Chain A
Amino acid sequence: MTIAPRKYSALDYIRIPFRTHPVLSGMKALIIIVSALVPSVKIIGTASFVDTALDIFKNGGYSRIYAPLLLLALISAYTYCIGIFLNLINTRLTLRLGEEFRTAVTEKRSRLEYRHIENNDTWELISRVSNNPEGRISGGYEILLELLSIILMVGGILIVLAAQVWWAALAIIAFSVPLFFVAVKSGKTNYEAFKNATKYQRKAGYLEWVLSGRENVEERALFGYTRSLSERWYKEYETARKITTRTQALNFIKMKSSSIITIMVAVLIAGVLLIPLGNRLITVGMFMGLVNACFNLVQMMSWQLSYVMHQLANNNEYLKDLSAFSMLEEAEGANDLPDADIGRHSLESIEFKDVRFKYPGTERYVLDGCSFRLDRDKHYAFVGINGAGKTTITKLLTGLYQDFEGDILINGRSIREYSQSRLKALFSVVYQDFAKYCITLRDNIFLGNINGVDDERIAEVIEEIDLSETLARLDKGLDTPLGKILEGGTDLSGGEWQRVAIARTLAGNAPLHILDEPTAALDPVAESKVYELFGRISKGRMTIFITHRLGAAKLADEILVLKDGKIAELGSHDDLMALGGTYAEMFEAQRSWYA
Chain B
Amino acid sequence: MSMTETKGPRPNVMKAFFKLLPTAFLAEPFLFILCQLVSIAHGFSWGITTLVTQRFFDTAELMARGMADMAAVAMSLLMLGLIYFSNQVLNGVGNFLPQVYGEKALGKIQQGINEKMARISPVCFEDTKMLDDINKANEGKNHAVFFVILVTFVFTFYIPYFLFMGWYLFSLKPILALAIVIVFIPAMTSQVLRSKVYAGLEDKAAPIRRQFEYYEGCIAGREYFKETRLLGAFGFFMRLYRQALELLNKERWKATFKTSMYELLMKVLALAGYLLILFMLFEALMGQEISTGAFTAVFASLGALFEIMEEVVCRHAGNIAQQLGTIQNYLNFLEIPERGGSDTVVDPDCDIRLVDVSFSYPSAESPAVKNASFTIKKGETIAIVGENGSGKTTIVRLITGLYLPDKGYVLHGDKKTSDISLKYLFKNISGVFQKYQKYQLTLGDNISISDTSLVPEEDYLDRVSSMSGLDPKDEAFVNGYDTMLSREFDGVDISGGQWQRVAIARGFYRPHNIIVLDEPTAAIDPLEEKRIYERFARIAKDKTAIIVTHRLGSVRLADRIIVMDKGEVVDIGTHEELIDRCSKYSEMWESQAKYYV
Residues of chain A within 8 A of B222, CB atoms compared:
117, 123
We find that the number of chain A residues with CB closer than 8 angstroms to chain B is 156
1/0 per position for B121-165, CB-CB distance to A under 8 A?
A: 010010000010011011000000000000000000000000000
- Whether the pair B88, A263 counts as a contact (CB closer than 8 A) is yes
- Whether the pair B117, A53 counts as a contact (CB closer than 8 A) is no
18 more A-B contacts (CB under 8 A) besides A110-B234, A384-B525? A53-B292, A77-B271, A103-B242, A126-B220, A208-B110, A210-B439, A227-B115, A263-B84, A266-B84, A278-B70, A292-B300, A337-B232, A398-B226, A447-B236, A524-B588, A548-B526, A586-B525, A593-B533
Q: Is B182 an interface residue (CB 8 A)?
A: no
CA distance A528 to B452 in the complex (A): 43
1/0 per position for B88-101, CB-CB distance to A under 8 A?
A: 11011101100110
- Whether the pair A245, B60 counts as a contact (CB closer than 8 A) is no
Enumerate A231-262 residues with CB–CB distance to B below 8 Å.
Answer: 233-234, 237-238, 241, 244-245, 248-249, 252-253, 255-256, 259-260
- B315 smallest CB distance to A (angstroms): 12
Given A117-B225, A218-B433: A267 in contact with B78 (beta carbons within 8 A): yes
Q: Is A465 an interface residue (CB 8 A)?
A: no
CA distance A519 to B529 in the complex (A): 15
Indicate which residue in A46, A288, A592 contacts B293 across the interface (CB closer than 8 Å). A288
- Whether the pair B74, A385 counts as a contact (CB closer than 8 A) is no
Residues of chain B within 8 A of A56, CB atoms compared:
286
- Whether the pair B224, A437 counts as a contact (CB closer than 8 A) is yes
1/0 per position for A59-83, CB-CB distance to B under 8 A?
A: 0001001000100110011011100
- Whether the pair B263, A84 counts as a contact (CB closer than 8 A) is yes
Kindly state the interface size class of chain B when it binds its partner. Answer: 35 or more
CA distance A214 to B437 in the complex (A): 11
Indicate which residue in A80, A95, A109, A450 contacts B231 across the interface (CB closer than 8 Å). A450
- Whether the pair A208, B138 counts as a contact (CB closer than 8 A) is yes
CA distance A401 to B137 in the complex (A): 43
Q: Is A57 an interface residue (CB 8 A)?
A: yes
Indicate which residue in A302, A336, A523, A591 contacts B232 across the interface (CB closer than 8 Å). A336
CA distance A203 to B451 in the complex (A): 21
- Whether the pair B278, A88 counts as a contact (CB closer than 8 A) is no
Q: Which chain B residue lies CB-closest to A51?
A: B292
Stretch of A10-18, A373-381, A423-431 that contacts chain B? A423-431
- Whether the pair A386, B231 counts as a contact (CB closer than 8 A) is no
Residues of chain A within 8 A of B529, CB atoms compared:
589-590
Stretch of B169-177, B342-350, B474-482, B489-497 that contacts chain A? B489-497
Residues of chain A within 8 A of B431, CB atoms compared:
218-219, 222
Q: Is the interface of A mostly helix, strand, loop or mixed?
A: helix
- Whether the pair B214, A485 counts as a contact (CB closer than 8 A) is yes
1/0 per position for B42-80, CB-CB distance to A under 8 A?
A: 000000000001001100110110000010011001101
- Whether the pair A274, B236 counts as a contact (CB closer than 8 A) is no
Q: Is A54 an interface residue (CB 8 A)?
A: yes
Indicate which residue in B63, B260, B292 contacts A84 across the interface (CB closer than 8 Å). B260
- Whether the pair B402, A589 counts as a contact (CB closer than 8 A) is no
- Whether the pair B74, A271 counts as a contact (CB closer than 8 A) is yes
- Whether the pair B433, A385 counts as a contact (CB closer than 8 A) is no
Q: Which chain B residue lies CB-closest to A547?
A: B523
CA distance A256 to B87 in the complex (A): 10
CA distance A248 to B114 in the complex (A): 27
Q: Which chain A residue lies CB-closest to B427?
A: A224
- Whether the pair A230, B260 counts as a contact (CB closer than 8 A) is no
Residues of chain B within 8 A of A263, CB atoms compared:
81, 84-85, 88
1/0 per position for A278-296, CB-CB distance to B under 8 A?
A: 1010001101110110011
Residues of chain B within 8 A of A448, CB atoms compared:
231
- Whether the pair A438, B60 counts as a contact (CB closer than 8 A) is no
- A136 smallest CB distance to B (angstroms): 16
- A476 smallest CB distance to B (angstroms): 17
CA distance A74 to B256 in the complex (A): 26
Residues of chain A within 8 A of B293, CB atoms compared:
288
Query: Would you mind naming 22 contact pairs between A and B with Cβ atoms under 8 Å apart?
Result: A69-B278, A76-B275, A84-B263, A109-B220, A216-B437, A229-B114, A230-B115, A233-B111, A245-B103, A256-B91, A263-B85, A270-B77, A285-B292, A289-B296, A295-B53, A335-B235, A337-B235, A338-B232, A387-B495, A435-B223, A517-B523, A526-B388
Q: Which 4 A-B residue pairs are closest in the complex by CB-CB distance? A: A593-B553, A551-B595, A109-B220, A228-B452
Q: Is B577 an interface residue (CB 8 A)?
A: no
- Whether the pair A259, B211 counts as a contact (CB closer than 8 A) is no
- B333 smallest CB distance to A (angstroms): 10
Residues of chain B within 8 A of A517, CB atoms compared:
523
CA distance A433 to B221 in the complex (A): 13
CA distance A484 to B230 in the complex (A): 24
Residues of chain B within 8 A of A54, CB atoms compared:
292
- Whether the pair B591, A524 counts as a contact (CB closer than 8 A) is yes
- Whether the pair B556, A593 counts as a contact (CB closer than 8 A) is yes
- Whether the pair B99, A548 counts as a contact (CB closer than 8 A) is no
1/0 per position for A547-586, CB-CB distance to B under 8 A?
A: 0101110100000000000000000000000000000011
- Whether the pair B286, A65 counts as a contact (CB closer than 8 A) is yes
Residues of chain B within 8 A of A208, CB atoms compared:
110, 114, 138
CA distance A433 to B227 in the complex (A): 10
Residues of chain B within 8 A of A385, CB atoms compared:
525, 527-528
Given A206-B440, A447-B236: A528 in contact with B292 (beta carbons within 8 A): no
- Whether the pair B552, A593 counts as a contact (CB closer than 8 A) is yes
CA distance A263 to B88 in the complex (A): 9
Most B C-beta atoms less than 10 A away, residue of A88, A123, A299, A431 = A88
Residues of chain B within 8 A of A256, CB atoms compared:
88-89, 91-92
Residues of chain B within 8 A of A255, CB atoms compared:
92
Given A53-B286, A548-B523, A551-B595: A80 in contact with B306 (beta carbons within 8 A): yes
Enumerate A499-537 residues with CB–CB distance to B below 8 Å.
Answer: 504, 517, 519-526, 528
- Whether the pair A277, B85 counts as a contact (CB closer than 8 A) is no
CA distance A337 to B489 in the complex (A): 41
Q: Which chain A residue lies CB-closest to B232?
A: A337
Q: Is A202 an interface residue (CB 8 A)?
A: yes
- Whether the pair A590, B238 counts as a contact (CB closer than 8 A) is no
Indicate which residue in A91, A203, A433 contacts B223 across the interface (CB closer than 8 Å). A433
- Whether the pair A234, B223 counts as a contact (CB closer than 8 A) is no
Q: Which chain A residue lies CB-closest to B123?
A: A217
CA distance A525 to B389 in the complex (A): 13
Q: Is B280 an interface residue (CB 8 A)?
A: no
- Whether the pair A260, B435 counts as a contact (CB closer than 8 A) is no
CA distance A166 to B111 in the complex (A): 61
- A306 smallest CB distance to B (angstroms): 11
Stretch of B246-254, B324-332, B459-467 that contacts chain A? B246-254
- A448 smallest CB distance to B (angstroms): 7
1/0 per position for B277-314, CB-CB distance to A under 8 A?
A: 01000100110100011011001101100100000000
Q: Is A372 an interface residue (CB 8 A)?
A: no
- Whether the pair B591, A525 counts as a contact (CB closer than 8 A) is yes
CA distance A595 to B589 in the complex (A): 11
- Whether the pair B285, A485 counts as a contact (CB closer than 8 A) is no
- Whether the pair B230, A398 counts as a contact (CB closer than 8 A) is yes
Q: Is A404 an interface residue (CB 8 A)?
A: no
CA distance A223 to B274 in the complex (A): 65
Given A99-B246, A525-B588, A589-B526: A219 in contact with B436 (beta carbons within 8 A): yes
Most A C-beta atoms less than 10 A away, residue of B223, B230, B274, B285 = B230
CA distance A587 to B95 in the complex (A): 70
- Whether the pair B104, A241 counts as a contact (CB closer than 8 A) is yes
Enumerate A431-473 residues with CB–CB distance to B below 8 Å.
Answer: 431-435, 437-439, 443, 447-448, 450
Q: Which chain A residue lies CB-closest to B57?
A: A288
Given A214-B125, A222-B402, A550-B595: A103 in contact with B245 (beta carbons within 8 A): yes
CA distance A323 to B157 in the complex (A): 46
- Whether the pair B96, A252 counts as a contact (CB closer than 8 A) is yes
Q: Is A50 an interface residue (CB 8 A)?
A: yes
CA distance A486 to B533 in the complex (A): 44
Enumerate B194-234 residues with CB–CB distance to A below 8 Å.
Answer: 207, 210-211, 214, 216, 218-220, 222-234
Residues of chain A within 8 A of B113, CB atoms compared:
212
- A102 smallest CB distance to B (angstroms): 8
